[in-house]
Amino acid sequence: MEIDDAKGAKPLRLAICVKHVPTCDDIEVDEATGRIRRADAECDINPCDLNAMEMANALKKSVADAGGATIMAFSMGPDGALASLKKCLALGADEAYLLSDRKFAGCDTLGTARVLAHFLKAKGPFDVIFMGEMASDGATGQVGPMTAALLGVPDVISVATISCGERAGQFIVEQHIAEGVRRLLVKSPMVVTVPFGVNQPKLPTLRMQMRANKIAIPVLTASELSADELARLAPKSIVTSTRAIGTHAQAELIEGDAKAIAAKIRELVEGGRQHV
């Protein structure tokens, strides 16, 4: 990828890759196949992808008076993923692309990274590519680093903040590590993966949602990949089963009139204090 070397003169080009996932309270495992049932599940944008989007927006805002920035959103998945892309547009992305084809359907994490890398190259160059650190359904955390490796660019995981450095093409990246926060100076292009909860994602406004509804989202298909690239999408790993873990939390229904319920709550709270 080329590096834009004129920060301030040329707008930053930012990309974000998001996944459309079953909502947390709607994940079910098909006992027969051992796979997550996605077809009937209610889906939404992967939670930490919203943190990534917020970070991309913050970077865009920080350069508003210095050349500005554009954000391009990508999602690989079936038509339902359009909803997550639309959310990105409502949150401030300028363009969005759905990467959708039956030939992508069986991809493992490496195949997904290959597809993303292909289209990021095709639509690039990008200064920074944002991704959520891991999907709430698969939870592998592999796609971001794999995409970076395939693009031949640095990958910074667990990113808390990103801002422009003193020199063009340099970014100051703060990264969560076990001991605290590490500050890095990273030369673009790069992939950053963003964990859940590092910032407070804003809500799309009615005005922005209205704007998003008017932006067409092109669908990019496998026809744009070479035969060699398609052959490499064959999965190297197969999920053989997924097992739901039963919760160990015990819920107790508190019944009675308001006074009885209040007394029970007080008893539980005071009992809890004694355990502190």
Partner 1 sequence: MKKKIGIIGGGISGTALGYNLSLYDDADVTIYEKDRIGCGTTSKSAGTVCLFDDSLNNRYWDVRLYGFETYMKMEREEKGSAGFDKTGTLVCALSEKDERRIKTGIALARAAGYTGEYITDKERIKAILPMLNTDAIIGAGYTKDDGYFDGTMISNNFAAKMTANGGKIITGVRVTAINAEGGTAKSVTTDAGDTEAYDVIVDCTGPWSRFTGAMLDLDVPIWHTKAEAFFLAPAENLDYIFPVLKFPAFYALRAGNNIFICKSHLSMDLDNPMHAGQWDPDKLPERGGTDDYFIEFLYEQMEKDVPGLVDAGLSSSWLSYRAETRDFLPIIGETPIKNYLLATGYGGNGVIEAPAVSRDLAKYIMRGESTLLIEEWAFSRLWKK
| Residues 86, 246: Cα–Cα separation, whole Å | 34
Q: Which stretch binds partner 1 (CB under 8 A): 117-125, 170-178, 198-206, 231-239?
A: 198-206
> Does the protein bind partner 1 through residue 204 (CB under 8 A)?
yes
| Residues 56, 70: Cα–Cα separation, whole Å | 9
Of residues 71, 125, 74, 73, the one with CA closest to residue 99: 74
> Does the protein bind partner 1 through residue 24 (CB under 8 A)?
no
Length of the chain: 276
Q: Which stretch binds partner 1 (CB under 8 A): 108-116, 137-145, 160-168, 205-213?
A: 205-213
Q: Which residues of 116-132 are buried (b: 16+ CB within 10 A; e: fewer)?
A: bbbbbeeebbbbbbbbb
List the x/- string, 38-67, binding to partner 1 by CB under 8 A.
Answer: ----x-x-----------------------
The residues near 246 (Cβ < 8 Å, ≥ 6 apart) are none
Which CB sits closer to partner 1, 144 or 204? 204
Q: Which stretch binds partner 1 (CB under 8 A): 100-108, 157-165, 199-207, 233-241?
A: 199-207
The pair of three-digit structure tokens given for residue 42, joined into one six-digit string: 């209610």
Which CB sits closer to partner 1, 206 or 276? 206
CB of 26 to partner 1, least distance (A): 8
The residues near 66 (Cβ < 8 Å, ≥ 6 apart) are 7, 8, 164
User: What part of residues 129-168 is at the interface with partner 1 (CB under 8 A)?
Assistant: none
| Residues 183, 192: Cα–Cα separation, whole Å | 13
User: What part of residues 206-245 is at the interface with partner 1 (CB under 8 A)?
Assistant: 206-207, 209-210, 213
10 burial (CB, 10 Å; 0-12 / 13-18 / 19+) is middle
Q: Which stretch binds partner 1 (CB under 8 A): 119-127, 203-211, 223-231, 247-255?
A: 203-211
CB of 22 to partner 1, least distance (A): 12
Total binding residues toward partner 1, as defined by CB under 8 A: 16
CB of 208 to partner 1, least distance (A): 9
Q: Which stretch binds partner 1 (CB under 8 A): 2-10, 158-166, 182-190, 196-204?
A: 196-204
> Does the protein bind partner 1 through residue 260 (CB under 8 A)?
no
Q: Fill in the DSSP letter of residue 198.
A: S
Query: Helix crossing, 109-123 with 143-151: angle to 10°?
Result: 50
> Does the protein bind partner 1 through residue 205 (CB under 8 A)?
yes
> Does the protein bind partner 1 through residue 79 (CB under 8 A)?
no
State which amino acid sits at residue 147: T
Chain residues binding partner 1 by CB under 8 A are 23, 26, 42, 44, 83, 90, 202-207, 209-210, 213, 258
